[in-house]
């Protein structure tokens, strides 16, 4: 069952600097490319089997899911990963 959802969430990722070891005299790699995508994000599940934070971009470049014991844990990870705040979620109409 879909608990909460967001459609078309603007998400930007990348631009990360190299943090690993480099041999002396080696050129420092350029930061990773910055990309932007519109994500569809949902929290689905129930209190017996847990909850999934599911996300996919409209262009297919980014997708995944993660399991959580509580809805609150899924919400917190959505905030950490994507910047989603409590007011950004749309409740599932069927869930009441």
Residues 15-24: pLDDT tens digits? 889 999 999 9
Nearest to 11 by CA among 56, 77, 65: 56
Nearest to 74 by CA among 40, 50, 38: 50
Cα angle for residues 18, 22, 28 (degrees, 5° grid): 50
Strand runs (DSSP E) across 1-96, as ranges?
2-13, 35-46, 50-57, 63-68, 90-91
Q: What global pTM score does this model have?
A: 0.79
Q: Where are the alpha helices (DSSP H) in 1-96?
A: 71-82
pLDDT tens track for 42-79: 999 999 999 999 999 999 989 999 999 999 999 999 99
**Rounded to whole angstroms, how far apart are CA atoms 57 and 7?**
10
């Amino acid at each position: 069952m879909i608990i909460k959802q967001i459609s078309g969430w603007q998400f930007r990722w990348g631009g990360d600097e190299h943090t690993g070891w480099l041999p002396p005299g080696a050129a420092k790699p350029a930061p990773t490319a910055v990309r932007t995508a519109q994500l569809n994000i949902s929290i689905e599940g129930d209190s017996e089997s847990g909850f999934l934070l599911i996300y996919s971009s409209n262009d297919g470049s980014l997708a995944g899911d993660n399991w959580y014991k509580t809805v609150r844990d899924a919400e917190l990870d959505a905030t950490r990963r994507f910047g989603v705040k409590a007011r950004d979620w749309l409740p599932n109409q069927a869930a009441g």
